């Protein structure tokens, strides 16, 4: 969210306290955040909290606190996004009917920025026909309106009306701020390692953390794609809005990929699949015995090769990864050809700042015409967007 200007408008509901975490997450993501609070919001949380988190003065009313006399006009026109969280029944009604009687509502009327509305209120208030009608008006006018969560509410009743979690609001904001250039595209991504059981307590695996594949899934989703993510065991939360299929072994990954490849425009195999599995899986824990022990291994199916061999039947842009510790370019080029790929992303997994278990990566993108493009060292989120840009140009 670097260089993005976001305004968080906080109104007077108990969930105002969650807006503190929202502001923190937006600032962490690199956005420049300004906060406007209504008079009632200030009764729940002090502006000081938001001033400390955003690094800027909070604006509360039209009279005397604005930095210039026309902030209520310029704020909503110079920002990229306005997030109203929590949005009470009152602000929803005001926005639906163009009422401008304080700083926040006046700014909304004058705004040209996109507006994300995050309703939060008592469940009876939410289902009130007047509130529902006002939400319908906002939806029809191209406001982005999030669906409130369900569960225990602060008023001790159970039902819909909870403010969506701050992380979900941030994810929605990302989507609104991203180009929707993959809209209508179906994307299948694999991530993480596979694990191949030896006995009930041991397995063969590798050091893949799944971060690159998850970053690709998140970026594709933000750019409007419909994403299926097949992942081996990792300690990451599946990105919001992605169909997530957890698997363990290479065989399970192969089945999940083959069942879901149909109709996909883009298939990206970022997973580090175990090449071999134990020939026999012991039913009980193998006991300590002689000084040396030999494991008999069988070759696993090469999922990417099978996708490449059958590309004519299921046409798609097919992208592989090459994890190498030596001869990066030559090894990756050989895999690109052998697996009939449209692009391969090569990374040197022996580096400390790239490959497995890191937040950064540096890659070579290699194409069938011999063209090679080097990335700089970037975060995996940035590498993901770069890879998607190149895939888009192949389509
Ligand atoms: N791959 C796969 N199925 C396998 C092995 C690899 O689909 N059984 C895919 C990976 O997801 C990756 C690409 O093939 O996109 C290359 O994987 P990599 O582990 O770098 O290479 P391998 O083909 O396994 O060859 P080697 O281990 O000899 O380097």
**Closest residue to atom 27 of ligand 1, CA basis:** 275
User: Both 328 and 357 in a single domain?
Assistant: yes
If we measure between CA atoms, which residue out of 137, 133, 97, 95 comes closest to residue 115?
95
What pLDDT score was predicted for residue 28?
95
CA–CA distance, 31 with 123 (Å, rounded to integer): 32
Positive or negative: CA dihedral 260, 303, 360, 184 = negative
269 lines ligand 1 (CB under 6 A): yes
Residues spanned by the domain of 156: 5-177
pLDDT at 66: 64
Cα 272 to ligand 1 centre (Å): 6
Is the C-beta atom of 300 inside 6 A of ligand 1?
yes
Residues 162 and 240 in one domain: no
pLDDT along the chain (395 residues), means of 10: 94 96 97 97 97 95 73 90 98 98 95 97 94 97 93 78 94 96 98 98 96 97 97 96 97 98 97 97 95 96 97 95 95 97 94 84 96 95 97 91
Count of beta carbons in the 10 Å neighbourhood of residue 391: 24
Same domain, 122 and 264: no
Cα 322 to ligand 1 centroid, rounded to whole Å: 7
Q: Is residue 284 part of a domain?
A: no
Q: Which of 118, 155, 264, 316 is catalytic?
A: 155
Instruction: Return the residue whose CA atom lies nearest to atom 17 of ligand 1.
Output: 322
Q: What is the pLDDT of residue 342?
A: 98
d(CA 311, CA 266): 11
Which residue CA neighbors atom 16 of ligand 1 most closely?
Answer: 322
**263 and 131 together in one domain:** no
| 110 and 212 housed in the same domain | no
**What would the pLDDT profile of 266-286 be if each residue is shown by its tens digit?**
999 999 999 999 999 999 999
128 Cα to the center of ligand 1, angstroms = 56
Q: Is the CB of 323 under 6 A from ligand 1?
A: yes
CA of 185 from ligand 1 middle (Å) equals 25
- Among residues 142, 177, 212, the one where a domain terminates is 177
Task: Tell me, using a 6 A CB cutoff, whether residue 188 lines ligand 1.
Answer: no
For residues 156 and 197, state if they share a domain: no
Amino acid 65: pLDDT: 63
Same domain (yes/no): 196, 308? yes
What's the pLDDT at 124?
92
Structure tokens at 340: 């009939």
138: how many CB neighbours lie within 10 A of its CB? Answer: 19
321 CA closest ligand 1 atom index: 15
Å from CA of 273 to ligand 1 middle: 6
**108, 31 contact by CB (below 8 A):** no
Q: What pLDDT does residue 352 have?
A: 85
Q: Which of 382, 338, 340, 343 is nearest to 360 (CA)?
A: 382
Separation of alpha carbons 266 and 223, rounded Å: 14
CATH of the domain at 9: 3.40.50.1950
Name the residue with the closest Cα to ligand 1, atom 24.
275
H and E: helices and strands count for the chain = 14, 21
221 in the same domain as 115: no
> DSSP class of residue 245?
E
pLDDT of the residue at 86: 98
Residue 155 among the catalytic residues:
yes
Task: State which of 232, 301, 302, 338 you would mutate to test the pocket of ligand 1, scoring each by most atoms of that ligand within 8 A of its C-beta.
Answer: 302
Residue-wise pLDDT for 30-87, tens only, equals 999 999 999 999 999 999 999 999 999 999 888 766 667 788 888 888 999 999 999 9
- Of 177, 200, 222, which residue sits at a domain end? 177
Maximal C-alpha separation, the chain: 84
Of 177, 199, 215, the residue that ends a domain is: 177
Instruction: Say whether both 250 and 172 belong to one domain.
Output: no
Structure tokens at 185: 């595209």
Distance CA 318, CA 336 (A): 10
Total domains in the chain come to 2
Q: For the domain that residue 365 is a member of, what is the CATH number?
A: 3.40.50.10300
pTM recorded for the entire structure: 0.90
Does any domain span residue 48? yes
């Amino acid at each position: 969210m670097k260089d993005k200007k976001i305004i968080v408008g906080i109104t007077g509901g108990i969930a105002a306290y969650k807006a503190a975490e929202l502001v923190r997450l937006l600032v962490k993501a690199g956005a420049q955040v300004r906060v406007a609070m209504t008079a009632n919001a200030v009764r729940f949380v002090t502006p000081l909290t938001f001033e400390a988190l955003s690094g800027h003065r909070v604006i509360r009313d039209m009279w005397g606190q604005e930095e210039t006399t026309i902030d209520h006009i310029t704020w909503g026109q110079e920002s990229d996004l306005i997030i109203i969280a929590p949005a009470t029944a009152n602000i929803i009604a005001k926005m639906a009917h163009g009422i401008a009687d304080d700083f926040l509502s006046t700014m909304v009327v004058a705004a040209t920025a996109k507006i994300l509305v995050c309703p939060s209120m008592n469940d009876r208030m939410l289902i009130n026909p007047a509130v529902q009608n006002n939400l319908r008006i906002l939806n029809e006018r191209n406001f982005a309106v999030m669906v409130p969560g369900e569960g225990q509410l602060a008023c001790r009743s159970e039902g819909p009306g909870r403010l969506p979690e701050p992380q979900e609001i941030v994810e929605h904001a990302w989507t609104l701020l991203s180009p929707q250039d993959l809209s209508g595209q179906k994307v299948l991504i694999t991530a993480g390692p596979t694990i191949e059981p030896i006995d009930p307590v041991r397995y063969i695996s590798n050091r893949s953390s799944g971060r690159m594949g998850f970053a690709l899934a998140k970026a594709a989703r933000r750019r409007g794609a419909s994403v299926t993510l097949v992942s081996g065991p990792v300690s990451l939360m599946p990105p919001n809005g992605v169909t997530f299929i957890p698997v363990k072994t290479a065989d399970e990954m192969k089945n999940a990929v083959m069942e879901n490849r149909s109709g996909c425009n883009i298939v990206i195999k970022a997973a580090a699949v175990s090449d071999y599995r134990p020939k026999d899986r012991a039913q009980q824990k193998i006991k300590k015995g002689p000084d040396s022990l030999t494991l008999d291994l069988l070759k696993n199916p090469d999922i990417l090769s099978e996708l490449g061999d059958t590309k004519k039947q299921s046409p798609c842009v097919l992208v592989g990864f090459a994890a190498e510790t030596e001869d990066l370019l030559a090894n990756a080029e050989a895999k690109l050809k052998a697996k009939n790929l449209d692009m391969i992303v090569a990374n040197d997994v022996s580096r400390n700042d790239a490959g497995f278990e890191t937040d950064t990566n540096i890659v070579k993108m290699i194409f069938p015409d011999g063209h090679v493009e080097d990335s700089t060292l970037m975060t995996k989120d940035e590498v993901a967007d770069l890879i998607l840009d190149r895939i888009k140009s192949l389509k």
